[in-house]
Amino acid sequence: MEPLIDVNCSPIECTSLSPSAPIWQDILAQAMTGELLAAMNYTSLSEICDDPAEVADALEHSECERGHAAAFAAEGRKIGVQVCNNVDAKHWKRLRDAFLRCITERDFIGCLIVQEIMLESFAVASYSRVGKVGPGSLGETFARIAAEEGEHVDHAMSILRAERARDAQRFDDKVYRLHLDVMTTLAKMLAKECKDGHCEVCHSSCVKPSLFEVSLSAAELRGASLQQYLKTLDLLGIPGEVTLTWITQLPM
Amino acid sequence: MDNSVANVATPARTIGVDLPLSVDFALIGHQESWRAAADVLAVLRGPERTPLPDDEIKDILPWIPPRAVCHVDVGSIVRTKSGGARAGGLYIDSFIPPDRLEAAYVHENIARVRKAAACAIQAGAKIVSLGGFSSILIEGNFDQLPDRHDTVFTTGNTLTVAFIVQGIQKMCALENRNIRKSTLLIVGATGDVGSGCARCLAPLVRRVLLSARKVERLRRLAAELEANGVQVEIETDLQRFSAEADVVICAASLASPSLLLGRIASDAIVCDAGYPKNLSPTAEMLDAKVFFGGLGQITGGMKFTPDFHGILNRHPFPDVVHGCLLEGMALALEHRFEPFSQGRGFITQERVAEIETIAARHGIYLAPLYNADGPLEDGLDARWNGREDESIGRKTKTKSNSVARYFGRRENWPAYPIFAPGVNTDR
């Protein structure tokens, strides 16, 4: 596997004079980590694709996600902070492990469900919210990347809808099984408070209590993410009353 | 297509839900208090999981897109070759947050109702009833509903009016009041329900007092009633009527229980027909006979899947539902898939009589009268309103026991926003 930009997360001092810079530093760190994880996932996906076109597609997606990670790092530099990342942080590692289980099973559809339906719902929704309040080019970058991630989802939706049309029961069972694995971890990440200790991505203490200082809140990011996830599942055709039960049973 | 019934049914079987095979009707509603919303989420979350804390519910609920919550199966007393006639449907919650019913959120709420309507259409519902604020928001704006294909919409207000009128008449009988000597006050008189009640009850009372916010609409309604020889007085300010009312209908579209009645007789009969309830928790009407109006009961039985009994229908009697929702069920049982109630101000005595007949044919009758303190009637009369039908009589014993059981479990009592302890936490 190709080496990543920097997977170590040593404490990095914030050198910016802006009082909100440390908050943006952590937001960017989470986003950058997510993008690098997505890049790794697409690279892994390319390894189980048989069709050369699919291999090329997965590698192109991987490059795109690396570009997003680099863009977040660049935005950090613009405000005078170095953005760290840690794909081995506990929650992110669990998400990566869930994806790798699909890879081990050579489950292409499972991979798409994890990456495009679950992780991208989280990314699209949270980046969109950050894009609305982020200052200057930082906000623009989040908004732009949210739109690009949305296009990824659109691409995957046609494949997943076709798969569901073949056997809705089997497809929905698979989504539910992956939901229990992946969304439980995402729900813990999105909880208003990190009850399981430090997330291993924030550069010092948890950023969540400070989000209000940049017109965000953990509750808003969670709500928007779950809403996006539900809407995406609706587009797949999974009945709303079923998916409603799924999300109400997540840890909060 | 994603909206096939098979697609609705199949995945739910995965989680052990036995679903109906057709969607004859859909009911669009929302919860009137945070307590009610919490109970809905608790059922969905399941008994093995800790209920969500109140603050989490308030954070999460506003983000939930409108969607079906459960399946509803209703029975008719009409017998067919294969047994009792039945109709299957969906309850769709618009997830309007209980603290966002004010005018400031009207556009957001209309958008939610539209999305809920789209869910009903996608599910292939043949008729859709709009409950609570859903109908208030849409009754003058039917063009704002999505393209309907084969789905028709009814506000359900005609059957609500029928049950309010029946409730008033019954309460007068129980209290030995001569309705013909009464002065009737209608609060929210120019709304669809209020004006319907006015048309039905004005010929029966001595005098009518009409109150609403818009004076022009009041004048038009008063002129209509006066043309039929009714003595009418209108006021936008409840305190300014020249006479005291001894029968009152509260049918205002208020975002919260906040109405303080002014000059009414101390022992007035008061029907609170609002959703959310109209009357303020601070209203002191010690001798007034208050009851909750507009409610009916399905004697052919009703089943929720998953089981939301006592949660979605938070009443102290089984199978009691708001008239607006019952209208869609009654029309579905009758196989009359038509927009029976639409727009504002078109409810007439004839239309009320027609929907009453349809509902009664399928065993849908006025619910036993009650208020926040409990039932206002006892025994057989309370259950079945004195009907003589033998089959109904047989059911009565069982149902009465059921009522006793219900009231034996305090936790099952409805947490009504008026008079109930702790209600102010809702707002």
Q: In whole angstroms, what is the distance from residue A210 CA to residue A23 CA? A: 7
In angstroms, rounded to a whole number, what is the distance separating the alpha carbons of residues B19 and B222? 49
Chain B residues near residue A231 by CB distance under 8 angstroms: 65
Give the least confident one: A48-57, A64-73, B16-25, B108-117: B16-25
**DSSP assignment of A32-55:** HHHHHHHHHHHHHHHTT--SHHHH
- Pairwise pLDDT comparison (A17 vs A208), residue with the higher score: A208
Q: In sequence order, which residues have a C-beta less than 8 Å from that of residue B48 and are 6 or more positions away?
A: none
Six-digit token pair at A132? 């609305």
Residue of A nearest to B48 (CA): A249
DSSP A250: S
Which residues on chain A are in Cβ contact (under 8 Å) with B2? 236-237
CB contact under 8 A, B14 and A176: yes
Give me the sign of the Cα torsion angle A87, A91, A96, A101. positive
Residues A76, A31 contacting (CB under 8 angstroms): no
Which pLDDT value is given to residue A14?
61
B95: Cα separation from own chain's centroid: 17
Q: Domains along chain A?
A: 21-248 (1.20.1260.10)
Judge: B15–A172 Cβ closer than 8 Å, yes or no. Answer: no
Which tokens is B181 given? 């000597």
Which residues of chain B fall short of a pLDDT of 70?
1-21, 378-427
- In chain A, residues with a C-beta closer than 8 Å to the C-beta of B62 are 223
Whether the full predicted model's pTM is greater than 0.90, yes or no, is no
- Using the beta-carbon criterion (under 8 Å), do A227 and B15 form an inter-chain contact? no
- Picking from B8, B44, B45, the nearest residue to A239 by CB comes out as B8
Give pLDDT, residue B262: 76
Q: Which residues of A37-73 are buried (b: 16+ CB within 10 A; e: fewer)?
A: bbbbbbbbbbebbeeeeeeebbbebbebbbebbebbb
Q: Which of B10, B45, B67 sits opposite A169 (nearest CB)?
A: B10
Any idea which fold B162-294 has?
Rossmann fold (3.40.50)
Q: Any idea where the domains of chain B sit in the sequence?
A: 5-158+296-411, 162-294
**Chain A nearest-CA residue for B67:** A240
Report helix, strand or coil for A29: helix
Cβ contact A227–B65 (<8 Å) = yes
With cut-offs at 50, 70 and 90, classify the pLDDT of residue A206: confident
- pLDDT of amino acid B423: 25
Contacting B with CB below 8 Å, chain A residues are 168-169, 172-173, 176, 192, 219, 222-224, 226-227, 230-231, 234, 236-245, 247-249, 252
- The beta-carbon neighbor of A226 closest among B7, B63, B68 is B63
- Write the pLDDT tens digit of every residue in B150-167: 899 999 999 999 999 999
Provide ipTM, 2 decimals.
0.89
Pick A249's closest partner by Cβ from B8, B45, B60.
B45
Average pLDDT for residues A9-31, to the nearest whole number? 78
- Distance from C-alpha of B276 to C-alpha of B132, rounded to nearest angstrom: 7
Phi, psi of B124 (to 5 degrees): 85, 25
pLDDT, mean of residues A5-9: 47
Q: Please tell me the predicted confidence (pLDDT) of residue A13.
A: 58
Q: CB contact, 8 Å: B8 with chain A?
A: yes
Question: Which residues of chain B neighbour A241 with C-beta distances below 8 Å?
Answer: 12, 67-71, 90
> pLDDT by residue (tens digit) across A102-115?
999 999 999 999 99
- What's the mean pLDDT when you consider all of chain A? 90
What is the structure's pLDDT at A15? 62
Residue A17: its pLDDT value, please? Answer: 58
Beta strands in B313-391 (DSSP E): 320-322, 364-366, 370-371, 374-375
How confident is the model at residue B41, as a pLDDT? 95
Residue A245 with chain B: CB contacts under 8 Å = 15, 44, 306
A218: closest chain B residue by CA? B59
Least confident of A52-61, A203-212, A213-222, B93-102: A203-212
Q: CA B113 to CA A1: how far, in whole Å?
A: 50
